Amino acid sequence: MKTSSNSRSWLGGKTRQVLLRRALIKSMGYTDEALSKPIIGVINTWAETNPGHYNFRQLSDAVKRGIWAAGGFPLEINTMSICEVFFDISSLVYRNLMAITTEELIARHPFDGVVLLGSCDKNVPAQLMAAVSADKPMIFLPGGPMLPGNYQGESLACGTDSFKIWTQYQAGELTDEDIKNVEGCLYGSVGACPIMGTANSMQTAAEALGLALPGSAASPAVSAEKARQAEMTGRQIVTLVEKNIKVSDIVNISSLRNAITVLMASGGSTNLLIHLTAIARRAGIKLELAEYQRISEKTRLLVNVKPSGKGTVGIEFHQAGGVPALMKELESLLDTSVMTVTGKTLAENLESVSYSYNRQVIASWDKPLSTSGGIKVLRGNIAPRGAIIKSSAAGIMSFRGEARVFDSLAEAEKYLLDDDSDMDENKAVILRGYGPKGAPGMPEFGNYLPIPPKLYKRGIKDYVRITDARMSGGAFGTVVLHVCPEAAAGGALGAIRDGDTIVMDVDAGILKVELSDEEIAARLKNTEFSPKEEFERGFVRHYIDNVMQADEGCDFPYL
């Protein structure tokens, strides 16, 4: 990429171009004094099609207030905003598009530094991917989690509890009227879903990477504290510009390992293995699944919030001390020499941090919720390049049983909801053809495979599911994800047939089908998976043709 633009080069010299640039700035009512200051880009992702970012107009005003106070000149710019619910295909497709456009906005505009505002699943990784590639001074402002809802005295946390509520509805325990009443009670406010799903896991990871101010990831979206953090973020970006502390001074293999450690200890989303790998790749760092597994094995699950536990991010986790308290507990595992956006090292940041204020929410290292991290990597002839499982939210660690194979989500759902089907707890349901190329975009269909009512009525609330798709960070259950290579890329998942024997051992890291390599190869010769939907043109066609596999971060090779 061409050297990034900045205010000095943009306004340097006595040319007609500079005359026009200064004149156009003044046409908006700004003065020579404003033009003498560092120009700070405030890149906003506010949209009415993204409830998680609905509070960003107020936050951006607070950011700009801080920039002016610290001697900078803020210019706000908008980019696309992604909410999974509003897209009619998997929004992972548009993470890469948002990363490309955000990178160009950062690099090509005369910004000396930037503040990025983000909360939701694909927005945060897209912004961080862009920031790494553009490599200017930058601070990420987490938009924060929403407040939990409440229905008939029970606290509800959107995604996670919606799965439970829908299972109860399908089993006949809730009526249509009950569901209608729940709709207005599931979300307590705007903001990121208040569980340790993908959105809050990414905000947590951004802080753990050193790219957000300490304590900013978990403060509620609609709180006064969040507004104050926004102003402090605006002030601090000016300092980073003055000291010329860029993203490349912060993001390295050590800070990435710190973020993975925090991910594992918090029971964070499986989607982060894709996103952190893509962010690392933009920094020229190859993160392999083996690295995640190594860190998971030496980490302990400490955070008791949904979906792995009971609380919510913006209330219980934040009030227990949030990310700083968690990192304080993990300090001996972290590289504390890394630089952060405070202009100080992580060690300096942690000096004044207290341990958890509530050990029921952030447990001590000596009394963890689990003696290993929340995500495990599985390998075998089904997934030679790996698959993953959120072990902290799964109920089955060892399994041997028959496969039931589906190439259509609708057919899988029909089978699972049929009281006359042969489904029982000794079956593993295989959903394939929904990987990066196949769907396209790896939709979160791992959590669309419901608990069969016939099993639920017997008190069975979990079973084995295996897919090349993803899963919502708020989901729970025994779901093996990101099987790599995917079926549409010739992966062995495409060779499995009904009745084949599936073996899974989470502790041993094993996922296999009891077939010989020769039989798998022979079956694959006569098997082909085309994308579930045909796209002849546009960005989605480009995505299908170029997207890399899950273990490579689902980015494009040329980025």
Q: Helix, strand, coil proportions of the chain in percent (round to 5)?
A: 40, 15, 45
54 and 114 in a single domain? The answer is: yes
Residue 533 and residue 440 in one domain? yes
Pair (327, 397) in one structural domain: no
Answer yes or no: is pLDDT of 516 > 80.
yes
Q: Can you spell out the DSSP letters for 288-316?
A: -HHHHHHHHHH--B-B-BTTTSSB-IIII
Q: Are residues 166 and 287 in the same domain?
A: no
On whether both 388 and 537 belong to a single domain, the answer is: yes
Return the pLDDT at 160: 82
Say if 364 falls within a structural domain: no
The CATH number assigned to the domain holding 498 equals 3.50.30.80
H or E stretch at 352: none
Q: What is the mean pLDDT of the chain?
A: 96
Query: Which whole number is the average pLDDT over 97-114?
Result: 98
Please say if the pLDDT value at position 293 is more than 60: yes
pLDDT of residue 163: 83
Q: Do 297 and 389 belong to one domain? A: no
Note whether 414 and 425 are within 8 A (CB): no
Between these two residues, 183 and 138, which has the higher pLDDT value? 138
* Phi, psi values for residue 388, rounded to 5°: -135, 160
Same domain, 248 and 168: no
Residue 160 and residue 20 in one domain: no
Q: What is the pLDDT of residues 523-552, one digit of tens each?
A: 999 888 888 888 999 999 999 999 999 999
Rg (CA), the chain: 24
Is 343 found in the same domain as 463? no
Q: pTM for this one?
A: 0.96
Best CA proximity match to 402, nearest among 420, 388, 378, 421: 421
So what's the pLDDT on residue 3? 64
Q: Are 236 and 125 in contact (CB under 8 A)?
A: no
Burial state string for 475-506 with b = 16 or more CB within 10 A and e = fewer than 16: bbbbbbbbbbbbbbbebbbbbbeeebebbbeb
> With 80 as the cut, is the pLDDT of residue 475 above it?
yes
Residue 532 CB-half CA count within 13 A: 22
Bridge partner list, 44: 78
Q: Is there a single domain that holds both residue 25 and residue 139? A: yes
Encode 225-240: b = buried (16+ Cβ within 10 Å), e = exposed. Answer: ebbebbbbbbbbbbbb
Answer yes or no: is pLDDT of 504 > 80.
Answer: yes
Quick check: 501 pLDDT over 80? yes
In this structure, are 18 and 159 located in the same domain? Answer: no
Domain, as residue range, for 164: 149-180
Per-residue burial over 153-192, b if 16 or more Cβ lie within 10 Å, else e, is eebbbbbbbbbebebeebbeebeeeeeeebeeebbbbbbb
CATH label of the domain that carries residue 87? 3.40.50.2300
Residues 6 or more apart whose Cβ sits within 8 Å of residue 466: 382, 387, 428, 429, 430, 431, 479, 480, 483, 493, 502, 504, 511
Q: How many domains does the chain have?
A: 3
pLDDT digits (tens, 9 = 90+) for 219-247: 999 999 999 999 999 999 999 999 999 99
Q: Is residue 370 part of a domain?
A: no
Given a cut of 90, whether residue 191 has pLDDT beyond it is yes
CA atoms within a 13 Å half-sphere pointing along the CA-CB vector of 217: 32
Does 365 reside within a domain? no
- Indicate the pLDDT class of residue 468, thresholds 50, 70 and 90: very high
Q: Say what percent of the chain tops pLDDT 90.
A: 90
**434 domain residue, yes or no:** yes
Coil/strand/helix, residue 405: strand
| Residue 32 lies inside a defined structural domain of this protein | yes
* Average pLDDT for 506-513: 97
Amino acid (1-letter code) at residue 548: M
What average pLDDT score do residues 446-471 get?
A: 94
Helix (H) or strand (E) holding 334: none
* pLDDT value of position 447: 87
Residue scoring higher pLDDT (164 or 413): 413
pLDDT band at 161 (very low <50, low <70, confident <90, very high): confident
Q: Which two tokens stand for residue 522?
A: 């022979």
Query: Do 80 and 162 share a domain, yes or no?
Result: no
Phi, psi values for residue 269, rounded to 5°: -75, 145
Q: Report residue 2's pLDDT band, with 50, 70 and 90 as the boundaries.
A: low
